[in-house]
Amino acid sequence: MGEAERGESAPRARISFWCSNGHETQPSFAHDAQVPETWDCPRCGFPAGQDRDSPPDPPRTEPYKTHLAYVRERRSDEDGEAILAEALAKLRGEI
């Protein structure tokens, strides 16, 4: 299928987006299309905006936490000692 068989393409505009790493991306949009505020950078994956001097901040990722780290957030060391003492007492048959 050649270009003549496809018909005329819609008029397009290339819009520049910049990420916080300074990468520039220029996707093309139809003139009557609504241009999004942000665009994902194809090089690093960070969000990119149309303002070169003030690109969007990169997403903040939380480090992986173990189950023990979550337990320590909820319980103090004293609580842990009390729970351990109670469990040991049950195992020894003291309760």
Q: What is the CATH number of the domain that holds 36?
A: 2.20.28
Where is pLDDT greater, at 62 or 21? 21
- The whole-number pLDDT of residue 23 equals 95
Q: Known binder of ligand: residue 67? A: no
Could you tell me if residue 52 is inside a domain? no
Cα–Cα distance for residue pair 30/9, rounded to 1 Å: 9
Could you tell me if residue 56 is inside a domain? no
Overall pTM surpassing 0.75 (yes/no): no
Q: Known binder of ligand: residue 23? A: yes
Domain count along the chain: 2
Range of the domain at 68: 62-94
Number of neighbours of residue 6 by Cβ within 10 angstroms: 8
- The whole-number pLDDT of residue 63 equals 87
Cα–Cα distance for residue pair 71/5, rounded to 1 Å: 65
Residues 14 and 41 in one domain: yes
- The whole-number pLDDT of residue 57 equals 93
- Residues 10-40 as b/e (b if ≥16 CB within 10 A, e otherwise) read eeeeeeebbbbeeeebeeeeeeeeeeeeebe
Averaging pLDDT over each range in 2-6, 7-11, 50-54, which range is the top one?
50-54
Could you tell me if residue 15 is inside a domain? yes
Residues 43 and 69 in one domain: no
Could you tell me if residue 54 is inside a domain? no
Q: Known binder of ligand: residue 44? A: yes
Q: Known binder of ligand: residue 51? A: no
Could you tell me if residue 4 is inside a domain? no
Could you tell me if residue 2 is inside a domain? no
Asked whether residue 9 carries a pLDDT value surpassing 60, the answer given is yes
